[in-house]
Amino acid sequence: MKNVKSKHEYPIDEGCTQVILRDDDDNLEVVKLAEICGREGILDPNKASVNITESEDVIVGPVTQFYAPVTIYQNINGEINGTEKNEVDKKLSEPITESPLSIVNEDTPKLINKGFNISKKNLRKSIAGKNCKIAYIFIFAFIISLGVGLTFYTNSKPPEENNSTNPTVSPLSNTTSKNEPKGEYIQRDVWGAWYPINGVNALAHPVPLVVIKHTAGRFSSEYLNCRLLIKDIQSYHQNDKHMTDISYNFLVCGDENIYVGRGWEIQNAQRHDSIDIAFVGDFDHMHLTSGMVKSAQKLISDGIVDRKISQDYKLVAHSQTAPQSSPGKYALEEIKKWPHYYSGKLY
């Protein structure tokens, strides 16, 4: 080595494992510390020091090079990450395929960190696990959306009305209450009516005609059920028949109440010169109750008193104003007994 005056002195650490030497021709040599110590007159590690001047990239101390991927173990009391040293030595002596480089010095494997192993297999498992979680989330969201859609469709499906060939029995509750109304007007906000979709036309008074119809659908004598049936009929007329509102001016249900449809002031869906009254149910297959008859007759009387209906009005069935079977044969038999019934056709 060059014999130059030292600017810095670095004492040699006994733990050093390798030293880089430079000769007069600038040739580098990496030698083990033990080999240097064995050369007579070269180096006494207990007394010697290294003088370095005008040098760059000086390395004094252990030289350890890492080549990724790397697995690092910790050696504690003869065990490396809980594994006996001889087992680790056996693994280190095996050919390297996918396992990373281990770091040892010439004495004992000083594997200086706890196991940290990243392999392609583990990476693939991690990615697959995340993809599965995302797939589960999408499947769960789809099931929830499907359930909500089916619920909405079931609840919004209206009853059959006008010439139904398959009338059904109401599946609604049959619970009753002592405070339920009987023979009263049930206003739109009470039975839960929706607003008209489009504009409506005013009805001129007094009207010369009263038309009796039936809904040809479900029947109920319970107040709660009747309110729900009226709401279903409005939904059917607006959503399926694309009407502005429920078709009728008034409806009489099996609970004997009078449900306000379009009322006294708005034209019904069929004629501009009439008040139409619909009995809720299919009266091709059942008779009107006495309470329903009484409520319908009361409604007509109130209309005459309030000058909404002409005193010399004509009472007709729906089938007399259009080619329909409404209001059903049993209802037709009943209204033929009422005052002002007119037997002629109006179409």
The CATH class of 185-335 is alpha beta
β-pair type (18-22, 28-32): antiparallel
Place of tokens 């729906």: 318
Q: Which positions ≥6 away from 249 have C-beta within 8 Å?
A: 261, 262, 263, 264, 266, 268, 275, 276, 277
Chain segment 18-61, per-residue pLDDT in tens? 666 666 677 777 766 666 666 655 555 555 555 666 666 666 65
Q: Which positions ≥6 away from 131 have C-beta within 8 Å?
A: none
Nearest 10 degrees: CA dihedral of 47, 53, 55, 56? 80
Rounded CA-CA distance 328/288 in Å is 10
- Looking at residue 313, what is its pLDDT? 98
Mean pLDDT, all residues of the chain: 75
Other Cβ atoms within 10 Å of 245 Cβ, number: 21
Chain segment 208-259, per-residue pLDDT in tens? 999 999 999 999 999 999 999 999 999 999 999 999 999 999 999 999 999 9
Burial of 52 (0-12, 13-18, 19+ CB in 10 A): middle
41 φ, ψ to 5°? 75, 5
Delimit the domains of the chain by residue range. Answer: 8-52, 185-335
Chain segment 248-258, per-residue pLDDT in tens? 999 999 999 99
Rounded CA-CA distance 231/222 in Å is 14
